[in-house]
Structure formats: structure tokens, C-alpha cells
Amino acid sequence: MTTDKSKQAICSQVAHILRQEREKQGLSMNLVAERAGLSQQMKDIESKHITGLLFSKLARLSRNRRELEDFSDFFNKHQADLISLSEAIDTSTAGGRMFFHLLGVFAQWEREEITERVNASVLIRAKLGKSINGSAPYGYQWKEHKLVLQPEEATIRRKAYELFLQFRRKGQVAQVLNTAGYRTREGAIWRDTSVGRILDESSAKGFYAFNTIRHTGSWRSEPKPESEWGKVQCEPIVSEELWNQVNQIIEEQLKSWKKPGKPPVHLFSGLAHCSCGHKMYVAANNPKYFCRKCCNKIPIVDLENVVREELKTFFGQPERIAGHLQTASQNLVEKSSLLETHQREIQKVRDEMKQTHRLYLDGEITSKGFGDFYKPAEERLNQLMAELPKLEAEVDFLKVNKLSADDVLHEASSLHDR
């Protein structure tokens, strides 16, 4: 007779043998106790070294009626017994086998009842705007059932949007973040998939929606109706305009499946739009912008004159200048926040390296363990230190070039005159 210590191993091998027998019959099942690498225990059952299996409760063995029946058939075939301690059943008797099957039906009913209650609870919590799995989107954390900004992550996420708008490639954004020494919440390096998740997630613009998809298979899912969504308002990380612009680029890339081409040589190629709504380009050795749909043309010189007049109108409006200066000030605040986060990350890595070194001096870790922990930290510190002068230079540049509205108006008028 086996002890409780070998129960899990025996159940695992029972599952393995049952699957093999079911596959021979052309059937399939999702076994609870499926494991690998424990074939010796099943050989012990077949060779009579194991004559019975003790378990605390039938529901702990399985909550699937069909699976319990397969367990029972397999043990009966090899003249071994399934014995439950709490329900006092013994499959070595006819009454015990009948009771075993009845409890199997109730165990499966209990499992399905629990599933229905959990699903109902998820729907209610989502409608109330409460967290389901406890994890907050990157850049936020849950506090008193509300999403609040996590400053260190928020600055990195904001930088990811700016980098994507610059490079239009998620892989390039991940590379820049990794080179700068930034890591994900779990401490892993950034990849294009993880960058794509934080760019696509809507919380960055101030609206977090969850419980939006339903898994229909291991790699399949379908959207849930909007009535089942959970919705939470939160402080935005980027403007809604920037979020829409980034996600529109992603959507267009998914439709075309083509990488962005090289930037146009002419200044307004792809930016100027024809009256029909399509973009205009300049062909080789051609002095005119050309619309490929309606064949409309405009000389390069004429377009530049139009732009100059528009610049005069634009720079002549103080309220627009004030708006752009406000945007510049906000950019300075964001860059300063990113610099502070970067400096905190440097200090954090240094503290971890000091702690590892102290453990090595105290004999708590071996020289090999010291190298395994210290070298990655040293590499990341070098990356952070290499990025620090760039951030400091950007912040200093923004501070030096911070001008008043009157100075900008004067420079704009001079620019137009020249």
C-alpha cells in the first residue's frame, strides 16, 4: 500500500497511461494530474508493487466525472484500489464503486457551479470598475480601487510614445530603451511585443478598459460585448492626440504589412495634400508637386510662397505662441522627470551592487554567484551612465532655449522678413 507522499507521483503516471489508452481509442481529454517523467510508478502498479492509492478527498483527485471513471477503470484493470480517507469509500467493494461514481458526479457539478459563480463575479466587478486580476497597466498602480500614476514607469512609457513617433518601429523603440538601461516591470529587457502592448493600451490617454476579450482556445480569443467591459478613468500619461496618432500608425502598418520607407527628399512630400484629399509628391527631375490620383500639379516655388505667408499668419498670433510655449514648458517638465527617474535608477543599481559586494565580503555568496549577480548589474549601470549625459544635455538645452512670448514674436517677424 502506498503512502500520501507518493500520491501525486502515482496520479501523474495514472494520467499518462490513461492518455495513452484514450489516444489509442481515438479519444482525448484534459487530465488534471498530467505530468511527465514518472513512468516508474506506473510500472509499479502494473507489476503489483502498488496495490492501492490513498487520497484525502475525491475532489482533490479530480473534478471531472469522465476522468474519475477512467481512473477507476485503469485501477480495476490492474486490480489496484482507489481509497478516499474523508469519504470512507473503497473501490474494492461494489458499494464503494457505486458511491465513487456518485461522488464523481457531485464533484463535477461543484466545479461547474464554482466556474459559473466566478464568471458572474468577474462581470459584476468589471461593471463596478474594480480590478479583476490585481495587476495595473504599465505606468500605473492600484490604490483604493483607483489607478494612480507610478512616476518611474510613467516617464518610460511616455518616452516610448515619443520614440515610436520618431522611428515608427517598435523594435527600434525597444532597442533605445534597453540601451538607455530601462527595463520592464518584471526586470526583463524590452521587446517589440512588450512595447506594442504599452502603446496599444488605452490607459495612457486617461481611459482604462479591461475584461474586453474572452479566450476561446490556447491562442484564440474574441472580443466581449461592451456591456461587459470594466471602465476606469485615470490620469493620462500622454495627450489623446498623441495616443491616436501612434495607434493610427500601428493600425496602418498592420493593414499594409510594409515597413515605413525612407523619408522623402523634398520638404513637403507626403505632407502636402491635393484638393481631392490625396498626398502629393515630387517626381525625379520635376519642379512640381504631383497628385497621383487626379494628376493635379503645383510648382515647388508656389507652394513655398504659400507656406511663408502661412508662417507669417501663424507667428503673428500671440495666443498661438503662448500655446506653443506652454507645450515647450510641459516638455521641459517631462524631460526633467525622465532625468530624475534615470538618476534614481542609477542609484538603485549602485545600491544593489553594494549589497551584492557586501554579501560576498561576508561570505554569504560564492565568487561564481557574485559574478552572476554583479556583472549584469554592472552592465546595466554602464548603460544608464552612458545615457545620463544625453538626458542632462537635453534638459539643459530646453532650459537655455526657454524664451518669452515677446522674444518669439520678434524672432518670428525677423525670420519672415529674411
- pLDDT tens across 131-183, in order? 555 678 899 988 877 888 999 999 999 999 999 999 999 999 999 999 999 99
**What's 267-314 look like in SS3?**
CCCCCCECCCCCEEEECCCCCEEEECCCCCEEEHHHHHHHHHHHHHHH
* 126: Cα separation from own chain's centroid: 20
Confidence of residue 36 (pLDDT cuts 50, 70, 90): very low
Give the right CATH number for 140-256 from 2.40.50.100, 3.40.47.10, 3.90.1750.20, 3.40.50.300: 3.90.1750.20
pLDDT at residue 169, rounded to an integer: 92
pLDDT of residue 176: 92
Question: H-helix or E-strand containing 47?
Answer: none
CB of 289 within 8 A of CB of 280?
Answer: yes
- pLDDT higher than 90, residue 243: yes
Which stretch of 7-16, 236-245, 338-347, 362-371 has the lowest confidence by average pLDDT?
Answer: 7-16
CB 240 within 8 A of CB 193: no
Residue with cell 474574441: 222
**Residue 1 CB partners (closer than 8 Å, separation 6+):** 51, 52, 54
Cell numbers linked to 415 = 525670420
Q: Where does 139-205 show beta strands of DSSP type E?
A: 140-143, 146-149
Q: What is the pLDDT of residue 306?
A: 82
Q: Nearest Cα to 76, choosing from 43, 53, 102?
A: 53
What one-letter code names the amino acid at 315? F
Query: In degrees rounded to 5, what are phi and psi of residue 86?
Result: -75, -35
DSSP element (H, E) containing 206: none
Long-range contacts of 351-360 (CB under 8 A, 24+ apart): 352/377, 353/377, 353/378, 353/381
Cα dihedral 60/61/64/70 (nearest 10): -170
Q: Residue 239 belongs to what H/E stretch?
A: none
* Residue with cell string 500614476: 149
Percent of all residues in the chain with a pLDDT value above 90, rounded to a whole number: 18
Rounded Cα distance, 233 and 209, in Å: 9
Per-residue model confidence (pLDDT) at position 103:
62
* Distance, CA of 398 to CA of 328 (rounded, Å): 8
Cell of 239: 495627450
**Calpha distance 274→281 (Å, rounded):** 10
Mean pLDDT of the residues in the chain: 75
Pull the grid cell for residue 2: 502506498
pLDDT band for position 404 (cuts 50, 70, 90): low
Give the strand pairing for 52-55 and 81-84. Answer: parallel
Average pLDDT over residues 347-366: 88
Q: pLDDT category, 2, cuts 50, 70, 90?
A: very low
- The secondary element (H helix, E strand) that includes residue 81 is strand 81-84
The pLDDT of residue 163 = 93
Q: What is the CATH number of domain 4-127?
A: 3.40.50
C-alpha pair distances (Å), 384 with each of 36, 171, 324, 360, 387: 44, 19, 31, 24, 5
